[in-house]
Chain A
Amino acid sequence: MDERSDPIRNEDAPDELQARRETMFMIPAAPAIWAAHFLASYVTAAIWCAKIAGRDGSLEGARWLLAGYTGVALVAIAMIGVRGFRHHSYGDATAPHDFDTAADRHRFLGFSTFLLAALSFVAVIFVAMVVVFTETCR
């Protein structure tokens, strides 16, 4: 018998959660945006310097493009993060959400999504910081 008698364990799973088909794909969504942002940024800068500005040229145009990518990526990641946080705060249970119930599964997926979104948010800012300080292709 399980010794733990947490109220959550016996928490009635509400119908809305029972009926819901949970998806795992929100978890990798934010890191995937981070990866796409990274790739797009470096590819853009590389093409800009190789084909347009030249070896010692200015990075100006590419910096604006990257600012755009960064804005879009941050908004998308923030939206995912907020969604994850809402799922994590469902009801009044606290982490680590490790019971075998529909409600805890829901919270767990949300919490993982939220943490990875926070990480990805910071990572995208770190990637973008490079072009804040780099003005030329050198």
Chain B
Amino acid sequence: MASQTEDSIATLLGETSVLVPAGRSAERIADLSWWLFGSATLIWFVVLGLSVYAAYVRPGAHDVARVRLMIVGGGAVLPTILLGGVLAYSLWLMPQVKPPIPEGAVEIEVEGLRWWWRVRYASEEGGATEVANELALPVGRPAVLRLTSPDVIHSFWVPALAGKTDMIPGRETIIVLEPTRTGVFRGACAEYCGTSHALMNFAVLVLEPDAYEGWLARQGAPAQEPEGPLEARGAAVFREYGCGACHAIRGTQANGVVGPDLTHVGSRRTLGAGALPNTPEDYVDWIARTHEVKPDANMPPFGMLPDDDLAALAAYLDGLT
């Protein structure tokens, strides 16, 4: 059922709340939100209190001089001072929310494309490990993300970790993330970028340092060999239908760069940047009914494939963990 699928996708993608932060700059933003909320509540009570006072407690005419003081003081001077205070506080927070690039930070490149995320981890040997729609970060260590876009403006947002940063064609923008606790956190595109903008999500896995190293090593390794005959058939179908023109599977002939790297697609929490969960049936849905699942996605649907070819493909891809 649709609602059930959506529930589980939301769970798979992880925590989304700005008010339950898991990163340094998100903590500052949450502080600001609480201050704003608190002071707005206070103002609300004072204004309503005065209205009640004027209407019920002391109805009738009031002293002109006092009324003028209320109007000019309460209506202009006080709000100006309060807004000035809030402005000063948020300007003071800004350098902390966008800190300078720290020493020893993890270096990651993220490209936002319609409608998915290409992620590259620079490796020590000089090469890079490419993954998609999911990234891992070690807890307690800052990470520098260099953000770009080849098509339109996207915006990189992981509410629990930090504020939004636009990804602008022709420029590189930078965001520093510093996760403070482990967990899975949802990221999303926060700038409308076309038909499937709402299906442009990713998951951020914040891991203990060794778990992170393990994740990176597994993602950097070439793809697993097909396990059984069904998977081997799937690999052959993948070759035959030219999926490799757009997708790379490291360790095989497939080296396309148009679509997401599929070397370890089976290990991801979702498919199609949060369009579907990640089970063998979801692969069939994705491959055969791509545009029902994700309108206008830049992958042609392969609905003409015979069912057993689809099942073989699904088994193969699901096994690429």
Contact = CB atoms under 8 A, between A and B. Distances in A.
Nearest to B68: A94
Contacts of A118: 76
B95 interface: yes
B94 A134 contact: yes
Interface residues of B, number: 12
Contact of B84 (A56, A126, A130): A126
A11 interface: no
Interface residues of A, number: 13
Q: Which of A126, A129, A130, A133 has the most CB of B within 10 A?
A: A133
Contact of A56 (B76, B87, B95, B100): B100
Contacts, number: 28
A76 B94 CA distance: 31
A92 to B, nearest CB: 15
A129 B94 CA distance: 12
Contacts of B98: 138
A22 interface: no
A135 B95 contact: yes
Interface in B84-112: 84, 87-88, 91-92, 94-95, 98, 100
Given A134-B91, A136-B100, A138-B95, 20 more contacts: A56-B100, A118-B76, A122-B80, A122-B84, A125-B84, A126-B83, A126-B84, A126-B87, A129-B88, A129-B91, A130-B91, A132-B91, A133-B91, A133-B92, A133-B94, A133-B95, A134-B95, A136-B95, A138-B98, A138-B100
Interface of A: 56, 118, 122, 125-126, 129-130, 132-136, 138
